[in-house]
Structure 1
Amino acid sequence: MELQGVANDLLATFISRYNQIDGYWALGKFQSFLSDGAHGSIIIDLIATDRITSAYEKFPETNRYYSGAMVRIAESKGIPVDWIVAGSIEVRSLSKYELHCRAQLTADNGRKFASEALVQANKHSPAEFRSASDITGPSNQRGQ
């Protein structure tokens, strides 16, 4: 049950407005990436962070940050990281305004723990949205 809390907290940070890339809300960037129709989903592998996928090539900082976030969240709850043998965050566009986000962790005993959310997110448009980096400081993907 402890890993359910890790999955919940991981997803909460992922869908947060503080999840930014280059000063813009990351989910808007993901919506733009998915809106071209060439990609069905973005899958961020939290364990094999060096595995090259289309998501890793386009969003390497997201891959690295959330792999580290999973470790930090687990450790903050007193959970040994080696209990987690697989982990991912998947983002799918349901419409041009809605994303389905899912964080899933697999324990060393085979049990799976997932947290899901539907998020309203317009695709990123630099013409419409101003960068928040000069207002709120660095994005959460740059620090530890």
Structure 2
Amino acid sequence: MGCRRELGSIASGIIGSFCSRNNDVDGYWGIGKLHKHVDLFESKVVSIDLLSQTIAPYDPSFELMVKHYSEMLQKLVAKRELRPNWLRAVHVRIEFDVTNEHYDHYWRSALGNPCKMECIIEDDLGKRHIALLHANCYPHDPRREARSTRIANV
């Protein structure tokens, strides 16, 4: 039987995978597709609830990605022998067009605009386990990107 402290490691694993270039949506980098999606909105924030498998602002093209990360969460919890009822809330939050913090990375060391990603797992005792990641990305542009040739794109 695992302990609740391991929820922080699960949050870190989820956010690390989420930022990865292997996070595909229709063959393109998921973060770039999300960035393009929120360009239409005043708020540049995407929120994903992994327990209820919902995303806001909603777009049906992200349903498979949300389902994939919800299933990943369930597998990680089972692998560490944690109780599923310990999870009160699990959210992935991505904020685009944030200011570049000097401690995140060197300015212009990566292409694109700064974004902040976090996975927040709240346990049944009310403790929040948070993993935070800063990255850079451009909004999706198929003219500048190569599409993945993997068969099962997430």
RMSD: 1.8
The total of aligned residue pairs comes to 137
- Richer in helix (by share): 1
CA contact (8 A) 2:46 2:55 kept: no
Partner of 2:90: 87
Tell me: CA distance 1:56–1:71, structure 2 relative to 1, closer, same or farther (3 Å). farther
Residue 58 of structure 2 aligns to a residue in which SS?
helix
TM-score normalized by the length of structure 2: 0.80
Stretches of structure 1 lacking an aligned partner (at least 5 in a row): none
TM-score in terms of structure 1 length: 0.85
Q: Give the share of equivalent positions with the same residue, in percent.
A: 19
Q: Secondary structure in 2 aligned to 1:59?
A: helix
Q: In 2, are the aligned partners of 1:44 and 1:88 still within 8 Å (CA)? A: yes
State the alpha-carbon separation in 1 of the partners of residues 86 and 144 from structure 2: 44
Distance 1:17 1:52 in 2: 20
Unaligned runs of 5+ in 2: 99-111
Deviations 1:101-134 (A, max 9, x none): 01000111111101011111111101111211x2
Deviations 1:84-117 (A, max 9, x none): 1101000110256121101000111111101011
Contact 2:48 2:55 in 1 (8 A): no
* Among 141, 145, 148, the residue aligned to 1:125: 141
**Structure 1 partner of 2:51:** 47
Give the conservation status (yes or no) of the 8 Å contact 2:31–2:137.
Answer: yes
Which is greater in Rg? 2
